[in-house]
Amino acid sequence: MGRRSKWLALALIGFTACGDDGPVEPEPNGPARTWRMGFSAIPPRANEAQLLAALEMWTQRGDAAIMHVSPPWGALLSGVSAAAAVNANELPLANYYRAKNLQLVVMVDATDGLNRAADAPELVQLGRSIREPAVQQVYRDFVLALSSIVRPEYLGLAAETNLIRLVAPPSLYTALVEMVNAAEIDLRFALSDAIRYVSVQVDAAWGRAGQGNVYQGVERDFADFSFMRALGLSSYPYFVFPDPEDIPLDYYSRLPNGRALPVMVVEGGWTSGTAGPIVSSPNEQARYLRRQAMMLDSARAQAVFQLTFTDLDVASLNLPPGSILPLFALLGLVDTELRPKAALAVWDSLFALRRAP
C-alpha cells in the first residue's frame, strides 16, 4: 500500500477522542476465540479527520493492531538514520496503539506489495535494488530500529515470500533471503524479544496462483527462514473461490504441516462489491467472515488482521495506469464515509467472543 505519509504520525501525537460506542463486551462464560483481532491505520483517503475517526472506530472493536510498513528507502539511502525515521514515523502510531492496550504486530515489507515480481517502487524510482549490499544494510538498520524503539510483540521481516519466489527473478528472491536472515542475526545479537516471522501467500501455497490448483505448501519458506517462531498468512480468496463456503476449512491449518507455532492472518479479506471481473456483495463479504472464523479455529490462530477497516476512495489516490489497487478497494467493513456494512456486525459478534489462551 506504500509508505504512510508524515501527516499520519503528526496527527496522532497527543490525540485523544471518545469515538463511537463500539461492540458489546465479551461474555465471560460464552464461546471463546484464540485469535486477537485488528486492523491497520490505512485511511479511506489522505484526510486527517477521517483517519482519526476511523482509528477511534476500529480500536474499540480490536485487541491488536498491525503496522504494515516499508523502509523509507530514499531517506535512509540519503543518510537519514533509521532511528530518526522510526521515531518520526512509526513511534507515534505505536504509542497510540499502546495507549489503547492493543498488542502490536509489525510487518516490514521490503518489495512491491502490489507487484511481487519487483523491488519496492521507491527503490525502482531510484534505480536501486535490495540486491545491493548498501540497500540491504539500510533495511537491516531499519528493522533493528523498529525492534528497539517500537518494541512490537511480533516482528515480520518479509511479506508473501512464497509469492516473491514464484514470480520474481531468482536473484531478487535470493537477495531477500540473504537480507532477511542477516537482519534476524542482528536482532538476535541485540537480544530483541520480538517474535520473528515472515508471511506467506495462502492462495499461492494452495496452488491457486497459476500452479493448476496443485497444493504447494510452504516448506521452502520454513527452510529459507528457519528462524521463524510464527507464521504470517496473507489471503484474498475472493480471487480464487466463487463463494466463501468453497474455501477448505484447513486453508490455514494445513500450511504449518504439523509445526506447533503461532499462525496469524496479517492481511486479507473479501471484497463487498465488483472488483474487476469479480462480482461480490456485502452479504457475501459477511459470509466470508463467518467462514474465516471457522478456518481460524481450525488453525488455533493467534490473530487475524485486515489492513483496511474502511473502503478506499480510489478517485482520490491518483493511481498510476494499470494499478491493481482498485481490486482491493472494497475490503473495508465500513465504506469511505465510515458507514457500516453487513460485515461489521459479523466482526462485532466475533469480537464479542471471549478470548481464550
Per-residue confidence (pLDDT) for residue 29, from 0 to 100? 60
Residue 7 confidence class, pLDDT cut points 50, 70, 90: very low
Q: 198: part of which helix (H) or strand (E)?
A: strand 195-201
Tell me the whole-structure pTM to 2 decimals: 0.92
Is 70 exceeded by the pLDDT of residue 21?
no
Comparing C-alpha atoms, which of 90, 68, 72 is closest to residue 264?
68
Is 90 exceeded by the pLDDT of residue 18?
no
78 burial type by CB count under 10 A (0-12 exposed, 13-18 middle, 19+ buried): exposed
**pLDDT single digits (tens) 187-238:** 999 999 999 999 999 999 999 988 888 999 999 999 999 999 999 999 999 9
**pLDDT single digits (tens) 55-106:** 999 999 999 999 999 999 999 999 999 999 999 999 999 999 999 999 999 9
CB-CB contact of 44 with 50 (8 Å):
yes
CB neighbour list of residue 316: distance below 8 Å, 6 or more residues apart: 45, 46
Summarize the confidence of residues 131-145 as an average pLDDT: 98
The CATH number that domain 20-355 falls under is: 3.20.20.80
Domain parsing of the chain, residue ranges: 20-355
Is 70 exceeded by the pLDDT of residue 163?
yes
CA dist 347 and 292 (Å) reads 11
16 burial type by CB count under 10 A (0-12 exposed, 13-18 middle, 19+ buried): exposed
SS3 category, 87: helix
Per-residue confidence (pLDDT) for residue 275, from 0 to 100? 87
CB-CB contact of 15 with 41 (8 Å):
no
